[in-house]
Amino acid sequence: MNAFEALGLNEHLVQAVADLGFEKPSEIQEKAIPVLLSGTTDFIGLAQTGTGKTAAFGLPLLQLIDPTQRHAQALVVCPTRELCLQITNDLEKFKKHSKNIFTEAVYGGASITMQIRNLKKGVQIVVATPGRLIDLIERKAIDLQKVKYVVLDEADEMLNMGFRDDIDFVLKNTINRESIWLFSATMPPEVRAISRNYMETPKEVTVGKKNSGNVNIDHQYFVVPQQHRYEALKRLIDFNPGMYGIIFTRTKIDAQEISERLAKSGYEIEALHGDLTQQQRDKVMGRFRTKSLQLLIATDVAARGIDVDGVTHVINFELPDDMEVYTHRSGRTGRAGKTGICLSICHSRETFKIKSLERMINAQFHKVDVPSGKDVCRKQFFHFMDTLMQADVSSGDYETYMPDLMEKFASVSKEEVLQRVASLEFNHFLKYYENAEDLNRSDIRGDRRQPSTGGDARDGSRKERTDFNRRDNGYTRLFINLGTKDGFYKASFLQFILDESNLKKEVLGKIDMRDMNSWIEIDKAEAGRMITAIDGKRYNNRTIRMNEADGGFKRPNDEGSGGGRERKRTYAPKERRSFR
């Protein structure tokens, strides 16, 4: 007998999971499905992300629904719109062979009238985010009286996000329910409280160690000074050419700024955060899912519960404040039995958090050095060689061109051809990383707990500055959001920026114009003047944006705290002198 059938699932569902290629139930499915199929037992399922919780509750739900009754019989409550859509999507697949079962996703940010209309059609399973659900209840668009099953998915997340009152409201108003099924990756006291207040002797199942991380995930961390975070991020991306990853930031501003900067440098990246319209979010998620985006940068709220297949890396641009959030972030990779890597960029003052994380998820973290510029180049090079060797030449009509190619390259050695091919691909990398600084120096300047090494640190910071100067050869690159589409050609563009800034042509280096934006090399000493003169001006009803393209990444609050530290350091000796 098929293993899913053995759990008590009907043939339609068994067929559907077979169609999905599920060979055997995951542990949580094995333990949850038989209990849930009874329909009357309250249930708590604790399992890390990626263990198949959706099917664990989705399959029993689909079996318990009475298709002849066209009203809401089950309510699945989950924290975000993305998750809501994902669950509905999964249910859709699970019920492929089951007849007359209707599901509807209801969430904020989309037309409520449309959702109300759809609900009226006689939906039996409603998948909802808490806010919108309450809205619908208050508008009497959904009748909870006949709801038999309430599923709380990612319960810990919903509580983290402040949905406690909403959940209370839903549980208080589903008085005829027969059971509550709660799923969570972790078991904080607030989740415990729900079970105490609303559940009757729930059956609790824990898969793996409680609060444990996924064993398929390799946790690594990098200690870098605050001002090198962005550069370190870039290196980690460059060092992993096949990366399909999600980067987490604490704030929307960070997500937005970093994505813009990386996109400008040519990375396929987009940000996902609460300020986007739903349509924009869908678009970003769609592109990421189909892998036309290599990187997604997201805030915790926006990325909660996202199940995207094959994410190879999760990067923490900063460690989260709340340690449990780490489990959720890292759980975006290493899903469905695959392995994944979670990289965290931390400041030396954050390393104590690593210890508590190790305890919490019961896994070891590996301290790794940020790769050097050379390492990155080497890695990219090997990746390129692999790509070159794996290029598919079977389909094109290359035979036709071969004689010409052979003739053209007759006098050129293989070495030279390879060199040229490589240079096409690599010049920008080699240039960017030549003289790249070592990012691993710890930021001892700001770290008052290590006063004895203060001398080294100062040497270090001096070295950093000289490296930096050497790297940009006196020029810095500016980004501007004007390009050929604005009706410029190179000469008129040059004229425009020089006129606006009152600078001489001699201060400029290379100008690189694209459709929508351009890059300008400029004497480092004059860059500020040009930005001040041009940034914020209007051109053809558009606000011009101009900023440094490759400089050290400064977040607004870095400026404050970094400056503060700097000041203290310079004042200290003076103070001491005046005391003498």
Judged by CB under 6 A, does residue 273 bind ligand ADP? Answer: no
Query: Are the C-beta atoms of residues 47 and 30 closer than 8 Å to each other?
Result: no
The one-letter amino acid at 392: D
Question: What, of Mg ion, ligand ADP, none, does residue 202 touch, CB below 5 to 8 Å by kind?
Answer: none
Least separation in angstroms between CB 6 and ligand ADP: 13
The CA-CA-CA angle for residues 505, 507, 509, to 5°, reads: 90
The DSSP output letter for 372 is: P
Judged by CB under 6 A, does residue 52 bind ligand ADP? Answer: yes
Report the relative pairing of strands 295-299 and 542-543 from DSSP bridges. unpaired
CA–CA gap between residue 123 and residue 351 (Å, rounded):
50
Token pair in block for residue 478: 């500016």
The one-letter amino acid at 241: P
Smaller CB distance to ligand ADP: residue 222 or 244?
244
CB atoms within 10 A of CB 369: 12
φ, ψ (nearest 5 deg) of residue 346: -130, 160
φ, ψ (nearest 5 deg) of residue 318: -140, 155
Smaller CB distance to Mg ion: residue 157 or 257?
157
CA–CA gap between residue 138 and residue 257 (Å, rounded):
39
Judged by CB under 6 A, does residue 3 bind ligand ADP? Answer: no
Determine the size of the site formed for Mg ion (CB under 5 A): 1
> Is residue 79 helix, strand or coil?
coil
Smaller CB distance to Mg ion: residue 31 or 53?
53
Query: Are the C-beta atoms of residues 129 and 106 closer than 8 Å to each other?
Result: yes
Least separation in angstroms between CB 76 and ligand ADP: 12
Q: Which stretch binds ligand ADP (CB under 6 A): 18-26, 368-376, 414-422, 526-534?
A: 18-26
Per-residue contact string for residues 327-356; x = within reach of ligand ADP by CB under 6 A: --------xx--------------------
Judged by CB under 5 A, does residue 53 bind Mg ion? Answer: yes
Burial class of 554 by CB neighbour count within 10 A (0 to 12, 13 to 18, 19+): middle
Question: What, of ligand ADP, Mg ion, none, does residue 51 touch, CB below 5 to 8 Å by kind?
Answer: ligand ADP
Least separation in angstroms between CB 35 and Mg ion: 18
Chain-centre distance for alpha carbon 473 = 34
Binding positions for ligand ADP, 293-322, rule CB under 6 A: 307, 309
Least separation in angstroms between CB 184 and Mg ion: 10
Least separation in angstroms between CB 96 and ligand ADP: 14
Judged by CB under 6 A, does residue 55 bind ligand ADP? Answer: yes
Token pair in block for residue 553: 């990444």
Question: What, of Mg ion, ligand ADP, none, does residue 335 touch, CB below 5 to 8 Å by kind?
Answer: ligand ADP
Judged by CB under 6 A, does residue 25 bind ligand ADP? Answer: yes
Least separation in angstroms between CB 3 and ligand ADP: 9
Query: Are the C-beta atoms of residues 468 and 503 closer than 8 Å to each other?
Result: no
Q: Which stretch binds Mg ion (CB under 5 A): 48-56, 230-238, 240-248, 434-442?
A: 48-56
| Spatial strand order in the sheet of 475-480 | 508-513, 518-523, 475-480, 546-548
Least separation in angstroms between CB 177 and ligand ADP: 22
Question: What, of ligand ADP, Mg ion, none, does residue 336 touch, CB below 5 to 8 Å by kind?
Answer: ligand ADP
Token pair in block for residue 276: 């986007």
Q: For binding to Mg ion (CB under 5 A), which residues are involved?
A: 53
Give the binding site for ligand ADP (CB under 6 A): 22, 25-26, 29, 47, 49-55, 307, 309, 335-336
